[in-house]
Structure 1
Amino acid sequence: MIYTDQYASPLGKVTMASDGSALTGLWFDGQKYFGDTLTEQCEPGKLSVFDTTKQWLDIYFQGKAPDFTPPLLFNASPFREAVWAILLSIPYGQTMTYGEIADKIAKQKGAARMSAQAVGGAVGHNPISIIVPCHRVVGTNGSLTGYAGGIDKKVKLLTLEKTEMSAFFIPKKGTAL
């Protein structure tokens, strides 16, 4: 059984999902890939993991870095899980490029290189937004691209974290990167 709950963030409603003990999903309502980990068997629930997640989100939306992480559970390929582990290592207020993540994955696998596009696919399908900070991933050229919750939310999250934004830009639609 999968359980769900809601959180009213300053950027819009957020839906959380859990298997009963760990967080399995966290999405801005309406975002791309919303509910990817949800099954037909889900129901609203009041769980301690949701309380912990709400506490984390309250701290985060006050502009502070939480000093704990709710229990997380991923059900994905080893590649995606490796990418998401790297996302979790990106410090609050900092960013990393898709290429840097690809280099880290290549080193982990003992490969000469890894596709930044493959990394982008894994980042985009991250089921636990904000806590697994996919909003901290930027294009190598400084473009603020590829956030399933929307570029406007990505900018607001990075601004909340007081990330240095002067080198970033939002690409125009149809612009090749």
Structure 2
Amino acid sequence: MTVSDDLDRSFRDSAARSGLLDAGYDLVDSPLGQLLVAASDRGILRISYDANVEEHVDWLSRVAGRNVLRTTRAVEPVRRELDEYFEGRRHAFDLSVDLREVTPFTERVLLELARVPFGQTATYSELATRAGNPKAARAVGMTMNRNPIPIVLPCHRVIGADGSLVGYAGGLDRKVALLTLEGVLL
């Protein structure tokens, strides 16, 4: 027996609507390529430039629970705000984030990162200081490299102490594109 795409989508959306999912995910088109977006009832769990679904579903199952399905409904608020951001109509995200799998230091750094405004940048050292550990610039760099929610938690806004564009897990071309979208002079 084959299930139609419409029936399958209806089942998945119904599961999300009924609160039966620990996490939902979908693939979202963006000017930077396809993004894998995952969310729980707590907020966004992941935005990834790598759309390797199987690897992410395994991770989601370990972090959020076994009930993980691909469903547009679970990520619709994220999709909408990302679309608005890429269209230049949104300068701040109004989304909850689910950081349950990160360390307390990483959480402090990511929450400080979220405070770096649209169109502005900060250095690794500045973020380390804001997170309460001025000597942890390298650790902040590692946190940026492993940021589970890029774009929304804007690690693209973090630059080297000398103003240079250093590393970006999504690739420097994407970092440049995001900063250009935000009007940051490079």
Scaled to the shorter chain, the TM-score interval is: 0.7 to 0.9
The residue that corresponds to 1:151 in the other structure is 172
| Aligned-residue offset at 1:7 | 0.8
Q: TM-score, normalised by structure 1?
A: 0.80
Of the three residues 27, 30, 52, the one matched with 1:6 is 27
- 1:125 corresponds to which residue? 146
> Aligned partners of 1:7, 1:138: CA distance in 2, in Å?
27
Q: 2:124 — aligned with what?
A: 98
Q: State the 1:47 CA deviation.
A: 2.4
Aligned to 1:163: 184
CA shift digits 1:2-52 (9 cap, x unpaired): 321111001100000112452111111269xx849533643202325x111
CA distance in 2, matches of 1:57, 1:5: 13
Tell me the residue number matched to 2:103. 77
Aligned alpha-carbon RMSD (Å): 2.1
Q: 2:83 aligns with which of 40, 58, 63?
A: 58
* Aligned-partner Cα distance in 2 for 1:37–1:120: 22
Q: Report what 1:23 is aligned to.
A: 44
Structure 1 residue 64 displacement after superposition: 3.2
C-alpha distance in 1 between matches for 2:72 and 2:90: 25
Summarize the Cα distance change of 1:115–1:25 in structure 2 as closer, same or farther, 3 Å threshold. same
Mapping for residues 30-49 of structure 1, pairs under 5 Å: 35=56, 37-39=59-61, 41=66, 42-48=68-74
User: Partner of 1:53: helix, strand, or coil?
Assistant: helix
Larger Cα-atom Rg: 2
The number of residue pairs the alignment matches comes to 157
Q: TM-score, normalised by structure 2?
A: 0.76
Maintained 8 Å contact 2:36/2:51? no
The Cα shift of 1:57 comes to 0.7
CA distance in 1, matches of 2:80, 2:118: 17
Q: Which protein has greater RCO, CA pairs closer than 8 Å, 6+ apart?
A: 1
SS, match of residue 73 in structure 1: coil
Q: CA deviation at 1:91?
A: 0.4
- Cα 1:129–1:162 change in 2 (3 A) is same
1:135 corresponds, among 140, 143, 156, to 156
